[in-house]
Structure 1
Amino acid sequence: MSPRTRHAAAVVAVWALATPPAIAAETTVTFAAPGAPALRGYLTRPPGAGPFPAVLLLHSCLGWPFDRRQIGETIAGWGYVALFVDDFSSRGLKESCTVDFPAATADADGALAYLAGRPDVDRARIAVVGFSQGADTALAIAADDPRV
């Protein structure tokens, strides 16, 4: 093998090791929650059959940030299924910063049931992460729900 060929092979090997695994594109899913219309969620998962641990993500009172897809891809790249709950679009809301939003807990409960029922999710390894107002909901869920 010539030095040039060895160099090219080394470059290809380094590139292959540095390239993250292929992540399935974000898909929109729907699930039921107590007292709510069919709720929308955004799911990103690692490649393979699983079962994988999962992370349920709850948004702030302003909804999801522009980089939601990137966050989902990063979490899936770590080997987790990521589910972002969208409480707002099913209800025609843009934000809930000026009102209490008690439906968020029921919505998270429905999302947990949805994740636990997926064959690609390890139901014994589900975490909840919340952003701002969603963090309050995540703490309430984590304190009371044995699925988390």
Structure 2
Amino acid sequence: MKFERFFISSGEADAQLEIVAAKPQREGPYPTIIFNHGSTGRGHNKSLFSRTMCPAVIANYFVERGWAILFPQRRGRGKSGGNYGEGLALDGSGYSCNVDIAIAGFERAVEDVDAVVRHLRGRPDVDQSRLAIAGVSRGGILAIAYAGMRPNTFKGAINFNGGWLGRGCASHEIVNPSIFERGASAGIPTLWLHGSYDQYYRIEHCRENFERFLLAGGQGTFIAASAGHALMFKPALWTNRVDQYIAALSKE
């Protein structure tokens, strides 16, 4: 499998987004999934901002099953231009626990996914009838919420260990369910994969987020696996579940 790297417009002047992509060897168009990266832990180590995130374990999984995959790096992350503005405290101490700052950071991330979707709409090698979105940690909650905020765009959404603020912020009990609720109007089945001993998000909190999502009208399946926040890197714990999920998407 070969990765391709290119840049697209973010919609902000002088701020292009780095995209790392992979696709099957056969001719397209391909069912295509956008996979969104997470945060940088506490947000205080700026050297982590410039790391391009494109986990091979996820790319291999989807490409082997005939899917193309895109790993967008949001503004200020990887080699993307612009400032990293996803809820950092003004004093440089890391991610802010302030609800308004956290939500504004999420909404900035939504703008970047909008740019990626615009790019996909113009690609002849993409099967426009079979688009999906996924992500890990902040990218996981972003995937679920975005699918509801932009209905009729995706056939499915997959969340690995999703949440916007971790348990280090008391406000995570407000921010995370309120963001997840935005995904409830998507009208599509979703898949939530959480580690039962995640150091950032208690499994009870994750279940409560899912219940709020369902009560708001969302559809989905919740899986608690025997893992921590690195569940994504343990495909033996999720391959069968995701196989079933994407097979069902292909039939619809």
Matched residue, 2:4: 27
- Pairwise mapping of residues 1-148 of structure 1 onto structure 2 (< 5 A)? 23=1, 25-35=2-12, 37-62=15-40, 68-87=55-74, 88-89=77-78, 90=80, 91=82, 93=84, 98-99=95-96, 100=102, 101=105, 102-145=107-150, 146-148=152-154
Counterpart CA distance in 1 for 2:24 and 2:10 is 25
CA contact (8 A) 2:23 2:67 kept: yes
Bigger drift between 30-39 and 41-50 goes to: 30-39
One-letter code aligned to 1:98: Y
Instruction: Work out the number of aligned pairs and report it.
Output: 124
Identity over the aligned pairs, expressed in percent? 25
Cα distance per residue 1:45-99 (max 9 Å; x no partner): 0012211100100011127797712321221111001000111132365x86604
Counterpart CA distance in 1 for 2:52 and 2:4 is 17
| TM-score, normalised relative to structure 2 | 0.44
- In structure 2, the CA distance between the partners of 1:128 and 1:42, relative to structure 1 (3 Å rule), is same
| TM-score, normalised relative to structure 1 | 0.72
One-letter code aligned to 1:77: E
Matched residue, 1:6: none
Counterpart CA distance in 2 for 1:28 and 1:142 is 25
Counterpart CA distance in 1 for 2:32 and 2:21 is 10
Counterpart CA distance in 2 for 1:86 and 1:65 is 7
Counterpart CA distance in 2 for 1:83 and 1:50 is 15
Counterpart CA distance in 2 for 1:65 and 1:31 is 15
Counterpart CA distance in 2 for 1:26 and 1:85 is 13
Bigger drift between 55-64 and 115-124 goes to: 55-64
- In structure 2, the CA distance between the partners of 1:129 and 1:121, relative to structure 1 (3 Å rule), is same
Counterpart CA distance in 2 for 1:107 and 1:72 is 20
- In structure 2, the CA distance between the partners of 1:114 and 1:66, relative to structure 1 (3 Å rule), is closer
Counterpart CA distance in 1 for 2:32 and 2:122 is 12
- Between 1 and 2, higher relative CO (CA 8 Å, sep ≥ 6) is seen in 1
Counterpart CA distance in 1 for 2:111 and 2:143 is 11
Q: Which blocks of at least 5 consecutive residues in structure 1 are unaligned? A: 1-22
Counterpart CA distance in 2 for 1:112 and 1:46 is 20
Q: Whose radius of gyration is greater, 1 or 2?
A: 1
